[in-house]
């Protein structure tokens, strides 16, 4: 199983590629809405990409209130 740090790094890389943001501009504690400049629908798109990458299911309702990459990584890690 990958470490949380590795999961986090993969999330940041995937988000950077998908939303065309320089990887070095993203930090684990960033609010992904702000750092990526995305709205709630685009966030769902990101979650689907992450689910496909990590082969997990992330229910929308469990992610209510989650807005930073680190917490998102914790949620994914718990399912790996």
Question: In the complex, which residues of this chain contact other proteins (CB under 8 A)?
Answer: 33-34, 37, 39-41, 44, 47-48, 57, 59-65
Tokens of 30: 């960033």
Is the CB of residue 56 less than 8 Å from the CB of residue 76?
A: yes
Please, are residues 4 and 73 in contact by the beta-carbon 8 Å criterion? Answer: yes
**With respect to other proteins, which residue has the nearer C-beta, 9 or 70?**
70
CA separation for the pair 67, 80 (Å, rounded) = 20
Minimum CB distance to other proteins smaller for 9 or for 58: 58
Cβ 23 to other proteins shortest distance, Å:
19
Least distance in angstroms from the C-beta of 43 to other proteins = 10
């Amino acid at each position: 199983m990958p470490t949380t740090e590795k999961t986090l790094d993969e999330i940041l890389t995937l988000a950077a590629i998908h939303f065309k943001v320089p990887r070095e501009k993203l930090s684990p504690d960033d609010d992904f809405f702000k750092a990526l400049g995305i709205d709630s629908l685009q966030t769902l798109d990101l979650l689907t990409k992450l689910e496909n990458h990590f082969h997990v299911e992330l229910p929308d309702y469990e992610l209510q209130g989650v807005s930073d990459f680190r917490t998102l990584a914790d949620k994914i890690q718990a399912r790996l």
